[in-house]
Amino acid sequence: MDDIKFSLFGNDIKDEQINQQGWDKVYQKMYKEIENNLKQGKTVINDTGNFTKHERSLVKEIADKLKLETIEVFIDTPKEVARQRWLENKKTNKRFDTSEDDFNSTVIEMEPPRGNNVIKYKYPQPIDVWIATIFNPNEVPD
């Protein structure tokens, strides 16, 4: 989504500078790219937004229309850990930064996925244990 946002508005644009009409353009282009890639037989990982059930349903509708299966991966990280990571990134600038308002609104809006085809990682489970449980849920390694 950031690549699309920057292509439309320039590399120096801040999220808070984009109005609703601008965000609508960003999302429309993103959904179109998802659809085009799926039509070409590509696997798509959409790690943008998707904080709400509604946002996830928009992507699922594209896949359903093309008769493709979807899987949701939910990284269940406590908000305190996410906040600490966000604050650390403010110092290091290793990743794209968001405003405090954006961070807080994301925490408020977050609707964890439920139902079939949801793979959940619960922080701080070791990654190797998590992966093992995905492929063989009855055997958890020591």
Domain ranges of the chain: 1-70, 76-142
Can you read off the two tokens belonging to residue 141? 């390694």
Residue pLDDT tens, the chain, 142 long: 889 999 999 999 988 899 999 999 999 999 999 999 999 999 999 888 788 999 899 999 999 999 999 999 999 999 999 999 999 999 998 988 888 998 999 999 999 999 888 999 999 999 999 999 888 766 655 5
C-alpha span between 128 and 132 (Å, rounded): 6
CB contact at 8 A, 140 and 129? yes
CB contact at 8 A, 58 and 117? no
Helices (H) and strands (E) in the chain, counts: 6, 2
Can you read off the two tokens belonging to residue 33? 């790219």
- 40 secondary structure, DSSP code: T
